[in-house]
A = this chain, B = another copy of it.
Amino acid sequence: MDKILRVNMTDLTVKVEPVPADWAGLGGRALTSTIVAAEVPPTCHPLGPNNKLVFAPGLLSGTAASNANRFSCGSKSPLTGGIKECSAGGTSSGLIARLGYKAIIIEGKPAGDTWYTVVVHKDGATIKPETEVLRLGTFATVQHVNEHYGEDFGVITLGPAGENLMAIANISVKDPESKIRSFGRGGLGAVMGSKKVKMIVVNPEGGVALRLADPAKFKAANQAFTKTLLDHPVSGQGLKKYGTAVLVNVLNEAGGLPTKNFTSGQCAHHDAISGETMYENIVARGGEPSHNCSPSCQIQCSQIYNDKDGNYVTSGFEYETIWALGADGMVEDLDVIAEIDNVFDDIGVDSIETPVMLAVAMEAGLLPWGDGKRILELLRNDITHATPLGRMLGGGTGHVGRAFGMTRIPVVKNQAIPAYDPRPIKGIGVTYATTTMGADHTAGYAIATNILNVGGKVDPLSNDGQVELSRNLQIATAAIDSTGLCLFIAFPALDIPECLGGVIDLLNARYGINLTGDDVIALGKQVLKIEHAFNLAAGLGPETDRLPEFFELEAIEPHNVKWDMDQKELASFWNF
């Protein structure tokens, strides 16, 4: 009874199709990447009618399994030109799964200027012209759905940046508090905008509890699995108390906190922007230090961050955003960073790509270092209203760097490098260079083993063992991204055997199958190979599996190291 929902925006038709046999065992990233590879011509224009946008709940989404209500969005990225998969929380994944849809495929592109809302329901979807929420920010759009459709509806929407077809645009998902979670990277908001879909609304009516092949086994497996999440110091304590911002001081200490557009590995004002400071502010101002981004989350790395008067400012206030604005862009005031984060969510832009781009623009002299007020103007005026300046900024980090003829442009495959300098942390450099996604720490989070000593220890300053580390992590991540589970389960999975065992038991009990650990690894490998083949056919050959040249030319303090991994060794990543 699983179905594929196909929404054609060229002729405004909807089809509910049976799931092809080849796709039956797939979910999340495995399914989005398989569908994109099967149906999108690799050399098509990402914003043209031949690209598709695919949403797929994970294999465990919609069940009671802990941390399993994330879903994937896949497409050809207008930022990288390659395949893209993003994962997001929020409420929609479970709703879609319980409506029986394994995937929603948005395809084609309408002629004319009319925008649309796609209302997904148990019998398919309705495509209706949209005027009321056009040009609204994402918070107001969610509010509109709550008021006009129902508070229990799911929302997947665009901010103005997505309507502007900008490569920094993300796709926003309503979370349990009617705030915003994001398919952040790769400009997927521009793809959705190109299809003139302002929002996808998910009507939960008629959704059913998902059938479990072995309910008792499922329950037991979930208990064992959940215990590991709570027992591990990173997922059970560090992330819960300080959120991901716990990493500010950790990375600063490691000398891998890229500062002032990657000119130093340490930031003098790290304390002011740290997770510890965030926690103190949250507690003092009546916010919530621990908060879930989607139903059933046990880790609760999100938080509610209030201003000095106790009013909501932002949630899902991530390390990478704080790093990019606070260290890379030198904004020293955490409250200003929080306000900017809120605007990122509201206008619908990637909170990594956008601030890394702004730091490049600061180096170019377009705005002063650390000028949060100017950043807010650029976001609220130029990017929102697509002034010519906003158009340039909306192109992202590589775009701005090229406009200024710069050589210090931190991108791989044109996507901004996130919050961990690859020179003193070689493992993450391998991930940036080789992942099919463009620079992306989540694709193979070598920080775990290079810095946090999770899953063993590999010396971050040495090239030895980093390719193998990144490969193993990327394979495991591709599998986890297919389950609907949050990637942070990887911390216990790397250290506590019962964690991965629990995941496998959950899958087996859900579907009545007999997966082994090897099967999971095989799935991860399959996903990476599908994505890699797409990228090669799209023109992203091995020459693009590399870091920007300036990492090879400029040593970074405090370790005074350059990026010096042999390109052949890097290429050996794909030997599996």
Enumerate chain A interface residues (CB-CB to B < 8 A).
Answer: 42-45, 47-50, 78, 164-167, 190, 193-194, 366, 388-389, 391-392, 394-395, 399, 402-407, 537-541, 543-544, 546, 548-550, 553
A553 contacts B48, C-beta separation under 8 Å: yes
* B407–A403 CB distance below 8 A: no
Please, which residues of chain B bring their CB within 8 A of the CB of A540? 539
The 8 Å CB contact of A166, one of B48, B392, B405, B543, is B405
A366, B388: Cβ atoms under 8 Å? Answer: yes
Q: A43-B546, A399-B399 are in contact. List 6 more A-B contacts (CB 8 A).
A: A47-B405, A391-B403, A395-B403, A539-B540, A539-B544, A541-B543
Q: Which residue of chain B lies nearest to A404 when distances are taken between CB atoms in the complex?
A: B391
Closest to A81 in B: B543
Q: Which of B394, B402, B550 contacts A399 (CB 8 A)?
A: B402
Which residues of B have CB within 8 Å of A399? 395, 399, 402-403
CB-contact partner of A165 in B193, B404, B541, B546, under 8 A: B404
Q: List 5 A-B contacts (CB under 8 A).
A: A43-B543, A43-B549, A47-B405, A47-B406, A399-B399
Instruction: Please state if A405 and B190 are interface contacts (CB–CB under 8 Å).
Output: yes
Set of chain B residues within 8 Å of A47, measured between Cβ atoms: 405-407
Contact A45 B407 (CB under 8 A): yes
A392 — which chain B residues lie within 8 A by C-beta?
Answer: 388-389, 391-392, 403
Cα of A540 to Cα of B543 in the assembled complex, Å: 9
Bound CA span A194–B48, Å: 35
Q: State the CA gap A537–B165 with chains docked (Å).
A: 32
Closest-by-CB residue of B relative to A389 is B388
Check A405/B48 contact, CB under 8 A, given A391-B392, A399-B399: no
| Nearest CB in chain B to that of A79: its residue | B402
Docked-complex contact B539 and A405, CB < 8 angstroms: no
* Those 9 A-B pairs whose CB atoms lie nearest each other, nearest first: A165-B405, A539-B543, A388-B389, A391-B403, A392-B392, A45-B549, A48-B407, A541-B541, A45-B407
The CA-CA distance from A172 to B395 in the complex, in Å, is 30
Beta-carbon nearest neighbor of A541 in chain B: B541
Which residue of chain B has the shortest Cβ distance to A546 in the bound complex? B43
Complex-state Cα separation, A47 to B194, whole angstroms? 33
In the bound complex, how far is the Cα of B166 from the Cα of A406, in angstroms?
A: 10
CA distance A537 to B389 in the complex (A): 34
A392 to chain B: closest residue by CB: B392
The answer to whether B391 touches A194, judged by C-beta atoms less than 8 angstroms apart, is no
Most buried by B among A44, A388, A391, A392: A388
Say how far A439's CB is from chain B's closest CB, in angstroms.
16
Cα A482 to Cα B544 with chains together (Å):
31
Does A45 lie within 8 Å of B394, measured CB to CB? no
From residue A186, how far is it (CB to closest CB) to chain B in Å? 14
Q: Which residue of B lies closest to A48 (CB)?
A: B407
User: Would you call B395 and A49 a contact (CB within 8 A)?
Assistant: no
Residues of B within 8 A of A407 (CB): 45, 47-48, 194
Closest to A405 in B: B165
Name A164's closest neighbour in chain B (CB-CB).
Answer: B405
Q: Are A405 and B193 also in contact (CB < 8 A) when A49-B553, A389-B389 are?
A: yes
Bound-complex Cα distance A399 to B167 (A): 12
Report chain B residues within 8 Å CB of A541: 539, 541, 543
- Nearest-neighbor residue (CB-CB) of A366 within chain B: B388
Q: How far is the CA of A48 from the CA of B45 in the complex (A)?
A: 30
Closest to A549 in B: B45
A543 vs B544: C-alpha distance when bound (angstroms) = 13
> Considering the chains assembled together, what is the distance between the CA atoms of A165 and B407 in angstroms?
11
Closest CB in chain B relative to A262 CB, distance in Å: 14
Residues of B within 8 A of A539 (CB): 539-541, 543-544
Kindly name the residue among A44, A45, A402, A553 whose own CB sees the greatest number of chain B CB atoms within 10 A.
Answer: A402
Contact of B45 with A548 in the complex, beta carbons under 8 Å: yes
A273 to chain B, nearest CB (A): 28
Set B193, B391, B404, B549: member contacting A44, Cβ < 8 A: B549
* Residues of B close to A389: CB separation below 8 A: 388-389, 392
A164 to B405, alpha carbons, bound, how many Å?
8
- Chain B residue with the shortest CB-CB distance to A402: B395
Which residues does chain B contribute within 8 Å of A543, judged by CB atoms? Answer: 42-43, 537-539, 541
- For A550, list chain B residues within 8 Å (CB): 45, 48
Chain B residue with minimal CB distance to A361?
B388
Give A283 Cβ to nearest chain B Cβ, in Å: 42
Task: State in angstroms the CA–CA spacing of A194 and B407 once bound together.
Answer: 10
Q: Give every chain B residue within 8 A of A544 (Cβ-Cβ).
A: 539
**CB-defined contacts of A546 to chain B, threshold 8 Å:** 43
Which residues on the B side are within 8 Å of A553 (C-beta)? Answer: 48-49
The docked-state distance in angstroms from the alpha carbon of A167 to that of B398 is 14
* In the complex, chain B residues whose CB is within 8 Å of the CB of A166: 405
A432 to chain B, nearest CB (A): 15
Partner of A394, one of B193, B366, B388, B403: B403
